[in-house]
Amino acid sequence: MDLSGGHAAMDYDEHARTYLRFILFIKLSVVFLVILLGGMAYFLV
């Protein structure tokens, strides 16, 4: 990611790490929900 020319007070490395952790959390949440709904469809119907 090229973040040159940004504001000096902004911690762009930390921002990028936080964004990547957020994306990982969303992916894991989607996988969990798919497994949960699949299990509910199989066991509750």
pLDDT of amino acid 1: 60
How far apart CA 33 and CA 45 sit, in angstroms, is 17
Q: Is residue 4 part of a domain?
A: no
> Which residues in the chain land under pLDDT 50?
none
Tell me, yes or no, whether 7 lies in a domain. no
Q: How many domains does the chain have?
A: 1
| Residue type, position 12, single letter | Y
Q: Which domain holds residue 44?
A: 16-45
- Domain-embedded: residue 5: no
Kindly state whether residue 32 falls inside one of the protein's structural domains: yes
Q: Considering only CA atoms, which of 1, 28, 25 is closest in space to residue 14?
A: 1
Domain for residue 29, yes or no? Answer: yes
pLDDT score recorded for residue 4 = 64
